Amino acid sequence: MKTILVVDDDEAIRILLQEELTEEGYRVITASNARDALKIVEQEALNLVILDIRMPGMDGLEALPRILGMKEGLPVIFNTAYSQYQESFMSWAADAYVIKSADLSELKNKIKELLT
């Protein structure tokens, strides 16, 4: 079973993704901030990370290179309500950039793509 880490400060999003992705057959771990996420990345054998960008404290753009520094080649998807971060060089290190939406099909497709 593939394990996905969901990092988002919004509890509703965490619950939504946990339910939906568990239903898809993934094991889901969640973190409400980047610092906790980095600890989980270090300790757990993960297959993919879904990372919010705008979070209090360390944001997703800052967390991404740290995640990749610990686990080279671990796929990361940015999942954010904002499109403007796509311009940032820092966001280019992610494997995909998905704008948050009630329809999760784009996110689910990207996950499938990256895990096969």
Sites of contact with another protein (CB under 8 A)? 62, 65-66, 68-69, 72-73, 88-90, 92-93
Beta carbon of residue 109, minimum distance to another protein (angstroms, whole number): 21
> Between residues 66 and 100, which has the closer beta carbon with respect to another protein?
66
Cβ count within 10 A of residue 30: 19
**Cβ(81)–Cβ(60) below 8 Å:** no
Beta carbon of residue 3, minimum distance to another protein (angstroms, whole number): 20
Beta carbon of residue 17, minimum distance to another protein (angstroms, whole number): 24
Computed on alpha carbons and rounded to an integer, the radius of gyration of the chain in Å comes to 13
> Between residues 82 and 92, which has the closer beta carbon with respect to another protein?
92
> Between residues 68 and 104, which has the closer beta carbon with respect to another protein?
68
Q: Please state, in angstroms and rounded to a whole number, the distance separating the CA atoms of residues 91 and 86.
A: 6
71 by Cβ neighbours in 10 Å (0-12 / 13-18 / 19+) ranks as middle
